[in-house]
């Protein structure tokens, strides 16, 4: 389907690779969400995935693929977020060492979670050093493979299994709404969803302060921006990828944005109405639908809740602040 580095057969292959390793996450509904959106809304709960985010799918698939084609000495990556934990667990499962390049000021919780999966952490100074360069140098010195967080065919194929699972259960979805950072999740989901149902519309959601994807679709080329200031730390990417952009350009119907306040409201909504902890980035797609940023009247709408990694102190700090919409003390579910 298209001249890209990823096709639907790669996603089927990834699904087979991940069977029994990644969770087939539940799809949940909420009457409060349906009422607020004026549609039938289905949440795919990747906040309940292993390592707390969908990133495990892409990381494991990419690593397994690399291991099948060469004898793999180890893996390097340069994320401080969910991809780091995903790579660390995948390497542990495949019995190879992992090196994660993280900034000196990375949150202690993320560092210890990553170390907990047995990965080696290499610190860098985010104001003086280039992490990609550092990771590349480390990889070639040790003979390790470098698996980046989104711009990699094996990663994109793995992320596509999220939508593949969803459309297997409900192939009459009118719309699938997906969080967008560098585009690995959205690109994979777009290929899988359009293959199952060509009439399913695809919409990506970015933080308002980091709308490089929206700008890129409009410009017809990859737009680079400064690191955006937003609580959605998994979507603080500065640009889409060489692999992800052409797929999004061809298959995605629209990219919309939400504010940080809308993300906080949505975190509160997920906790109050669905008893779920979802991290700010994980709320992007839900925030767009619940705040009318996408046209959804009387439709069947899929929403990816992409991750749930947030420590309780930070969660309480964000959700405790009184801003915007709240469902009221008694709840409405
Ligand atoms: C990485 C991440 C995203 C963005 O995924 P991309 O593939 O970079 O677009 C969204 N949500 C969460 C929770 C993430 O960890």
User: Of the listed 10, 46, 165, 212, which one is catalytic?
Assistant: 212
Taking the C-alpha atoms of residue 164 and residue 206, their distance in angstroms, rounded to an integer, is: 22
Q: Whose CA is nearest to atom 14 of ligand 1?
A: 234
CB 196 within 8 A of CB 100: no
Q: Do domains 8-53+152-319 and 55-146 have the same CATH topology?
A: yes
Atom of ligand 1 nearest to the CA of 185: 7
Residue 273 known to be catalytic: no
Atom of ligand 1 nearest to the CA of 81: 15
Q: Give the three-state DSSP class for 332.
A: coil
For 204, the enclosing helix (H) or strand (E) is strand 201-207
Instruction: List all residues 6 or more positions away from 236 whose beta carbon is below 8 Å from its beta carbon.
Output: 181, 207, 210, 227, 228, 230
Residue 206 known to be catalytic: yes
- Whether 150 lines ligand 1, by a CB cut-off of 6 Å, is yes
Residue 212 known to be catalytic: yes
Contacts 24+ apart (CB under 8 A), 96-104: 96/63, 96/67, 96/72, 97/73, 97/144, 98/74, 99/74, 99/75, 99/138, 99/142, 99/144, 100/76, 101/76, 101/77, 101/131, 101/134, 101/135, 101/138, 103/131
Q: Give me the sign of the Cα torsion angle 319, 325, 330, 333.
A: negative
Residue 55 known to be catalytic: yes
Measured CA distances, 179 to 56, 190, 202, 272, 287 (Å): 16, 12, 11, 21, 10
User: Of the listed 10, 30, 55, 216, which one is catalytic?
Assistant: 55
Both ends of the chain: CA-CA distance in Å?
Answer: 41
User: Of the listed 206, 233, 260, 265, which one is catalytic?
Assistant: 206
Tokens describing residue 4: 């890209």
Under DSSP, the state recorded for 282 is: G
What is the CATH architecture assignment of 8-53+152-319?
A: 3-Layer(aba) Sandwich (3.40)
User: Of the listed 30, 39, 80, 209, which one is catalytic?
Assistant: 80
- Whether 80 lines ligand 1, by a CB cut-off of 6 Å, is no
Q: What is the pLDDT of residue 42?
A: 98
Taking 70 as the pLDDT cut, the residues of the chain under it are: 1-3, 321-333
- Which residue among 43, 55, 270, 277 is best mutated to probe the pocket of ligand 1, counting the most ligand atoms within 8 A of its Cβ? 55
Quickly name the fold that domain 55-146 has. Rossmann fold (3.40.50)
Locate the domains of the chain by residue range.
8-53+152-319, 55-146
CB 10 within 8 A of CB 153: yes
Phi, psi of 23 (to 5 degrees): -75, 140
Q: What is the pLDDT of residue 10?
A: 98
- Which residue among 184, 227, 234 is best mutated to probe the pocket of ligand 1, counting the most ligand atoms within 8 A of its Cβ? 234
Distance 154 CA to ligand 1 centre (A): 15
Atom of ligand 1 nearest to the CA of 159: 7
- Whether 183 lines ligand 1, by a CB cut-off of 6 Å, is yes
Q: Whose CA is nearest to atom 13 of ligand 1?
A: 307
């Amino acid at each position: 389907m298209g001249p890209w580095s990823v096709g639907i057969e790669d996603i089927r292959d990834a699904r087979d690779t991940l069977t029994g390793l990644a969770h087939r996450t539940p799809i949940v509904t909420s009457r409060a969400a349906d009422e607020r959106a004026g549609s039938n809304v289905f949440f795919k709960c990747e906040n309940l995935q292993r390592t707390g985010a969908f990133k495990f799918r892409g990381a494991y698939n990419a690593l397994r693929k690399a291991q099948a084609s060469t004898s793999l000495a180890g893996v390097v990556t340069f994320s401080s977020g969910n991809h780091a934990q995903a790579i660390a667990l995948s390497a542990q499962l495949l019995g190879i060492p992992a090196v994660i390049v993280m900034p000196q000021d990375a949150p202690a919780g993320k560092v210890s979670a990553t170390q907990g999966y047995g990965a080696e952490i290499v610190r860098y100074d985010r104001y003086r050093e280039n992490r990609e360069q550092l990771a590349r140098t480390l990889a070639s010195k040790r003979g390790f493979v470098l698996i980046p967080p989104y711009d990699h065919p094996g990663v994109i194929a793995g992320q596509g299994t999220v939508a593949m699972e969803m459309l297997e259960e409900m192939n009459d979805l009118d719309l699938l709404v997906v969080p967008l950072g560098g585009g690995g999740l959205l690109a994979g989901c777009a290929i899988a969803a359009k293959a199952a149902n060509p009439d399913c519309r695809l919409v990506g959601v970015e933080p308002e302060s980091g709308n490089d994807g929206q700008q890129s679709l409009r410009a017809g080329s990859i737009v680079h921006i400064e690191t955006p200031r937003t609580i959605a730390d998994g979507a603080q990417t500065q640009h889409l990828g060489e692999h992800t952009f052409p797929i999004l350009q061809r298959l995605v119907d629209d990219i919309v944005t939400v504010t940080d306040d809308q993300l906080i409201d949505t975190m509160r909504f997920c906790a109050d109405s669905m008893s779920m902890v979802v991290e700010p980035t994980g709320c992007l797609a839900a925030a767009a639908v619940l705040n009318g940023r996408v046209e959804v009247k009387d439709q069947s709408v899929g929403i990816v809740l992409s991750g749930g990694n947030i420590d309780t102190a930070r969660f309480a700090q964000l959700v405790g602040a009184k801003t915007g919409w709240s469902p009221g003390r008694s709840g409405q579910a």
